[in-house]
Amino acid sequence: MFSTKAIIVKKAFAGMHISPLSLLSVRMLFSLPFYIAAAFFTSRQKSNVQLTRPEWIQVITVGILGYYLSSLFDFIGLQYISAGLERLILFLYPTFAVLMNGYLFKQRMTGRQKIALVLTYAGIGIAYFGELKIDTSNPNFLWGSFLVFLCAITYSFYLVGSARLIPKIGSTKFTAYAMLAATVGVLVHFTLAGEYTRLQVNSGLWHYGLLLALVATVFPSFMLSYGMKTIGGNNTAILTSIGPVSTILQAHLILGDPIFMEQVAGTLLVVAGVILIGWKATAAESST
């Protein structure tokens, strides 16, 4: 479901004149009622955990960095690069999570994790230079790639934060509150930017917004948090390795994007690297 996001965004950009911020705002606006409902029902459960002030700060920070900023970078970047390349660059976030855990929480990197990092970055490099040969006429290719790279970095904050907060406060409550913080950030930005004055009542926009909200945001975000709680963050990382492959296939079938050898080879290396990171950590967890 997450891998459909880039496809829907690209279709929206191609089908109408809409800014990334406006499209993102409609996405979050449609998502808002679901997260409000989830926050309300979890707060009324007997098992509800009252958040401390530091936990509130952490949840809000994770939501702002890991979803508001990352989504904004992603939507802007998708104007300039293909959906398949976007997903490959974005899929670097597990490697950034490993680096963050090592820097912030002093988790020493293993030799296998270092090999995994080399594989993932080599895969991105191969796919990237292959894409350069095809998309030579795009003057904003490097800028779009950089923005999606920033998206991967900021989203890794969400991954690291969720892995530490979900065991304390629960998956549903964390997702609801973090996404509410992100939604507030997006809508405040949208209001301050004054883009509501240019937002036309366009049925196509609302259709794309609804698809982005339900298929690519609400359902998969709760599934991801619950899955992480049930099988652990590392197993989740392994299973989500299907993401880049799914996006590339959808981009080919729906958007007509070409599939080329460098893309296939790079994707295989990236997926192998992410699986290697997850497998090593999972093995360590099961032995302790």
Report the candidate in 231, 244, 284 with the shortest Cα–Cα distance to residue 113. 284
How far apart CA 127 and CA 85 sit, in angstroms, is 7
Digit-by-digit pLDDT tens for the chain (288 residues) are 988 999 999 999 988 888 899 899 999 999 999 999 989 998 888 778 788 899 999 999 999 988 899 999 999 999 999 898 888 888 787 778 777 777 777 777 778 778 888 888 888 888 888 887 776 677 898 899 999 999 999 988 888 888 888 888 888 888 899 999 999 999 999 989 876 665 665 667 888 989 999 999 888 878 877 887 787 766 776 677 778 888 888 999 999 988 889 889 988 888 888 777 766 554 444 433
The two structure tokens encoding residue 89: 């660059």
Residue 197's pLDDT is 60
Whether residue 92 contacts residue 159, with contact meaning beta carbons closer than 8 Å, is answered with: no
Rg (CA), the chain: 19
Helix (H) / strand (E) containing 47: none
Residue 207's pLDDT is 87
Query: With DSSP H G I counted as helix, E B as strand and the rest as coil, what are the percentages for the chain, rounded to 5?
Result: 80, 0, 20
Whether residue 219 contacts residue 1, with contact meaning beta carbons closer than 8 Å, is answered with: yes
Per-residue CA distances from 159 to 95, 134, 201, 236, 254 (Å): 11, 33, 35, 11, 29
Residue-wise pLDDT for 117-128, tens only, equals: 888 888 888 888
Question: What is residue 2's DSSP assignment?
Answer: T
- In the chain, domain spans: 4-109+139-233
Say whether pTM exceeds 0.75. yes
How far apart CA 179 and CA 220 sit, in angstroms, is 12
CA atoms within 13 A on the CB side of 265: 11
How far apart CA 102 and CA 108 sit, in angstroms, is 6
Residue-wise pLDDT for 228-257, tens only, equals: 778 776 677 667 777 888 888 899 999 998
